[in-house]
């Protein structure tokens, strides 16, 4: 377990040092999950989806929503039911280690960039059923979807 955490920590630090901490995505857009109602339970690997697909995924039973922004950003507004695991916080790896590797997770940040190293760290720790909101909460709100404080 210690070696996995060290490897995950190295992956996270390399990703953040490459400028991914800014949270603006230059990744090409994807079409999202083809059948979110079914696939929300077990994607083959971490999967980036658009806001429409993410909104369906987060309503599936058993899906845990994780907001990887700072606590201050989280307090300004987040997706209902989300928990805050700050990817840039000192306890991020400890928080990830509490997750059930067999669970299904829906992960987002502000615009889709900080979620990438967060998802990579989760995958490095044996979690494979992960959906990532490609456009972050900005895309969520731009799509007219609600947030709570």
pLDDT, block means (10 residues), the chain with 149 residues: 43 39 40 41 79 97 97 98 98 96 97 95 94 97 97
pLDDT reported for residue 40: 53
If we measure between CA atoms, which residue out of 144, 143, 141, 132 comes closest to residue 25? 132
pLDDT reported for residue 22: 42
Contact present, 124 and 118 (Cβ < 8 Å): no
pLDDT reported for residue 54: 98
From the number of C-beta atoms within 10 Å of its C-beta (0-12, 13-18, 19+), residue 99 rates as: middle
Q: 23-51: buried (b, 16+ CB within 10 Å) or exposed (e) per residue?
A: bebeeeeeebbeebeebbeebeebbbbbb
Domains parsed from the chain with CATH numbers: 2-142 (3.40.250.10)
Query: What pTM did the predictor assign?
Result: 0.74
pLDDT reported for residue 45: 74
Compute the residue count for the chain: 149
pLDDT reported for residue 14: 35
């Amino acid at each position: 377990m210690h070696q996995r955490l060290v490897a995950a920590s190295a992956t996270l630090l390399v990703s953040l040092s490459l400028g991914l901490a800014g949270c603006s995505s230059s990744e090409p857009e994807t079409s999202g999950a083809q059948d979110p109602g079914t696939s929300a339970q077990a994607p083959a690997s971490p999967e980036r989806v658009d806001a429409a697909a993410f909104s369906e995924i987060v309503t599936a039973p058993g899906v845990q929503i994780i907001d990887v922004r700072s606590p201050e950003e989280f307090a300004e507004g987040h997706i209902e039911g989300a928990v805050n695991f700050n990817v840039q916080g000192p306890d991020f790896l400890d928080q990830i280690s509490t997750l059930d590797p067999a669970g299904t997770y829906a992960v987002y940040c502000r615009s889709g960039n900080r979620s990438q190293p967060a998802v990579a760290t989760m995958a490095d720790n044996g979690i494979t059923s992960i959906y990532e909101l490609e456009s972050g909460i900005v895309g969520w709100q731009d799509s007219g979807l609600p947030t709570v404080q």
